[in-house]
Amino acid sequence: MFAVAVITLLVGIFAGLSRLQITVPDISLQFAAFHGPLLISGFFGVVISLERAVAVKTATAYAAPVLNAVGTLLLLLFGIVAGAQLLAIAAATVLTVVSLQLLRKVKADFTVILAGSAACWSIGGMVWWFTNDTARATLLWFAFLIITIAGERLELTRLLGTPQHAKRWCHAIVVTIMIGALGYALVLPGAGTLFSVGLTLLAAWLIRYDLARHNMRQTGMTRYIAACLLSGYGWLGLAGVLGLLGAFVPGSPLRDSALHALGLGFVMAMVFGHALIIFPAIARIKVAYHAAFYIPLALLHGSLALRVAGKVLDITPLQQFGAVANALTFIFFAVVMVWGVRKGRNLSRRPATHG
């Protein structure tokens, strides 16, 4: 499953580059229209449902990543779009049910939010299936990623004793994002703006209440994760502001920048931070932290800034350069991860710890 996720990520990246008239392997060209579905529903669908399955450890939970991986392979190998659509809906529905089942163990708001995020993926899949219009499903798919992160962060803010009024704000923001994304899929006026209000408020909420600010005073991996999170919140806020300026109105020239601020700036920064925890949890291979992890993080943000600047200023070569640099950043991050795994092998011979 992990291999399918990696292949999907690579094809999705090449498909995205091909949309910017950048030369990519021929095989990727046919998937240019599937850049979003491959990366969000395909790649992140497998990764997030696999991550949840590792935690829950039931056969039902593992059905979600398996179904989604099979659906993605049907699209990649045989071009069967309906297979990818239907199996993504099935996988997302399983993830929703599995997340709701967690309420039996811990009755908490963040478990409901995690189930809500999975439901967004499921509804996004249904929109894709019924309309064959990936653009209409895009905000629901992003809501899946954003709300998953919001739920996981809300869970950790308990260490800070988050006051009740702050929690209610978080609940309201999550509902705003969900309604905005759903309204956008239904082509309701103002839905994109509502979604953007949610993004902007969520960025402010996370900067104010998340553990990350406190952990910037720590050292090592803890501070690195906090740096990834805080830098991602900046991009989340920027995506919200671009949305308020009309980025989610169909045909807006800001749309590409807003979506990539979300997908690369916010979501991938979370991935860079948590890969050192999630990869060992899934693959059962220890990854040692090293300060070199800051290099791909800086490259991610720098290349995205060039890409966004290129688009906003209408300088195509700058946008293309930023996009290629973004793609190379993933390869560089993979190299640093492999290095971390090699170092981790030595560490695992000693007792404990991750830190």
Partner 1 sequence: MSLPPDEITESSIRQVLSQIIDPEVGANIVDMGLIYNIALTPTAVSIEMTMTSPACPMGDMILDDIDQTLRHYLPEGMTHAVNVVWDPPWDPSKMSPSLRERFHLEDPDNIDDLDLEKYLK
Where along the sequence are the contacts to partner 1 (CB under 8 A)? 51-52, 54-56, 99, 102-103, 105-112, 114, 151-152, 155-156, 158-164, 211, 214-215, 218, 220-223, 225, 274, 276-278, 280-282, 284, 289, 348, 351-355
Cβ neighbour number for residue 342 with a 10 Å cutoff:
11
Whether 60 and 98 have beta carbons less than 8 Å apart is answered as yes
Report CA Rg, the chain. Answer: 19
Nearer to partner 1, 160 or 328 (CB): 160
For 137-149, b where at least 16 C-beta lie within 10 A, e where not — what string?
Answer: bbbbbbbbbbbbb
Nearer to partner 1, 222 or 326 (CB): 222
Whether 241 and 266 have beta carbons less than 8 Å apart is answered as no
Least distance from C-beta 337 to partner 1, angstroms? Answer: 15
Nearer to partner 1, 210 or 256 (CB): 210
Taking CA atoms, 6 is separated from 98, 215, 291, in Å, by: 24, 30, 25
Q: Name, in order, each residue with C-beta under 8 angstroms of 254's C-beta and a sequence gap of 6 or more.
A: 242, 245, 246, 247, 312
Distance CA 244, CA 135 (A): 18
Least distance from C-beta 153 to partner 1, angstroms? Answer: 10
Cβ neighbour number for residue 172 with a 10 Å cutoff:
13
Nearer to partner 1, 148 or 200 (CB): 148
**Amino acid symbol at 338:** V
Least distance from C-beta 291 to partner 1, angstroms? Answer: 15
Nearer to partner 1, 160 or 338 (CB): 160
Q: What is the DSSP letter of 335?
A: H
Nearer to partner 1, 66 or 114 (CB): 114
Tokens 């910037």 map to which residue? 216
Query: What is the CA angle 63-82-146, rounded to 5?
Result: 60
Cβ neighbour number for residue 182 with a 10 Å cutoff:
21
- Judged on CB neighbours under 10 Å (0-12, 13-18, 19+), 274 is middle
Nearer to partner 1, 282 or 299 (CB): 282
The per-type count for the chain, helices as H runs and strands as E runs, is 16, 0
Nearer to partner 1, 21 or 219 (CB): 219
Distance CA 234, CA 254 (A): 17
Least distance from C-beta 142 to partner 1, angstroms? Answer: 20
Least distance from C-beta 311 to partner 1, angstroms? Answer: 34
Nearer to partner 1, 141 or 289 (CB): 289
Least distance from C-beta 348 to partner 1, angstroms? Answer: 8
